[in-house]
Amino acid sequence: EVHPFDGVDPTSTKNHSSGRIDNAWQSEHPEGGHLEKQGSSTSLQHNKKKKADPFPSIYLALEIIVIILFINVVQYDFAGVSFNKQSKSFDVDASAGQAQVNKYYPAFQDVHVMIFVGFGFLMTFLKRYMYGALALSFFLAAFAVQWSTLVYGFVEQIIHVSTHENSTFHTIHMDMTALITGDFAAGAALVSFGAVIGKASPTQIILMVVFEMIFFSFNEIINVELLVVTDAGGSMMVHTFGAYFGIGFARVISPKASFGNPHQAQGYVSDAFSMIGTLFLWMFWPSFNGALADGAVQERVITNTVLAMTGSCMSAFIFSRMLRGTRKFEMEDIQNATLAGGVAVGTAADMIPNPGIAILVGFFGGLLSTIGYVYISGALEKAGLHDTCGVNNLHGMPGLLAGTIGSICAAAISTGDERFSMVSTDVMFPALNSTAGCESVSFLPCRSPGQQGGVQFLALILSLLWALAGGFLTGLILKKVDPPKKLFQDEYFETPEDYDEMARIL
């Protein structure tokens, strides 16, 4: 019988060939080396000894809690709809409501496609975990939208009441912008999932989201509302936070069998499926960065993002050939580093004053990401950190670059410079000394541009440290909670009879 893993190098973290797993590796890592076929007697005996599955009961309880809370504390806040206390009826301005839908729904749909199609397909590169990549991404994102709406609303009110006099608690408002914000939070959770894909059970994943949305909400609200920073594309609050929360989480829960596991193998078809996700993300990323911007500022965000992503596409192809010893394109670079421009430009997408600078930022983002995949991922694994998707390379390091560029742009911005004529500084930087009402800002009111740049950089560092600490703590809590028995395999799904055969062929 030909086994679906004949020829695999057990010391390699990335295997395109298929073949038999080394007996020494399998004996050293029994938790990651189960290879029995589902129909075998060994597998049947193993199934009889299985403990009760905690996943359905945990998720059912969470969903019941979510539904009860939505019924009691969430209220629609649609544009053009107001309650008339005298007539005890609703007054409806249909034109205002339609204007709100026309303004936000197209961008929301683009972001929705990114979250539920782009991220899911991008993670299908593991040829024995394609079901898990698509389905668990779908499931995780749907729950994250629900849970983040509640948590974000609660945390925002807690901080607001504690920092503002005469402020009281109220119901959480639900409208189009809340749906977009929910997708942003789901994006952070999906980035974190990328660091542990194939190594965490569905139970661990959903509970990770429960904790992560709490840390995510505190981080964003403290930075945006208290420190008053700008982060148009969410490169600090979504990408940097999501990447390093996932890395902190992975540092704790990744078993030793993750390192050099021959099941962490890519294939021709799985890599092609992953490119579907790359292309969807590449096309719709400008909407992600500009979804909540207005008017001319939104136009600048979208234009700068498109240009930056063309730059990262160019650099990913160039340096994949240049830095790899094979002198061939590596699909891992093409799938990921081509997207890094969208992350690198995100924080300053509304501030970059020149289209050439936007391309340059994207070019360096793609270069940094490619260097990460070629050199840094291996070094981190040797240091004991296993990052399945390389989220540090696509989201983490380009996010740090974005935050740094954002702080430089904020420090350099000038209302008298015609290059910034499209930048509405009073909206973007309400704490600047040139903005009316800047004295009402609680932290460092009426700042100079240089001080604003310093606060921007402070927010980047806080996001990084808060994410690492939150992920590490969450990992400590969940490490022993229903861990997976097989790594990088679709053990949680009914697979067709040709599952092993297809994995060998593909």
User: Each residue of 319-372: pLDDT tens digit?
Assistant: 999 999 888 999 999 999 999 999 999 999 999 989 999 999 999 999 999 999
Quick: pLDDT tens for 72-123.
Answer: 999 988 776 766 666 666 677 778 888 888 999 999 999 999 999 999 999 9
For residue 78, the number of C-alpha atoms closer than 13 Å in the C-beta half-sphere is 15
pLDDT tens digits, residue range 272-313? 999 999 999 999 999 999 999 988 889 999 999 999 999 999
Read off the pTM: 0.86
pLDDT of residue 179: 95
Q: Give the max Cα distance, the chain.
A: 81
Residue 68 and residue 71: Cα distance in Å, rounded? 5
pLDDT at 156 over 70: yes
| pLDDT, position 15 | 44
- For tokens 């994250």, name the residue: 144
> What pLDDT score was predicted for residue 263?
83
The dihedral region occupied by 229, where left means phi > 0, alpha psi between -120 and 50, and beta the remainder, is: beta
Three-state SS letters, 25-86? HHHHCHHHCCCCCCCCHHHHHHHHCCCCCCHHHHHHHHHHHHHHHHHHHEEECCCCEEEECC
- Which element (helix H / strand E) includes 119? helix 119-122
pLDDT at 26 over 60: no
Is the pLDDT assigned to residue 36 strictly greater than 80? no
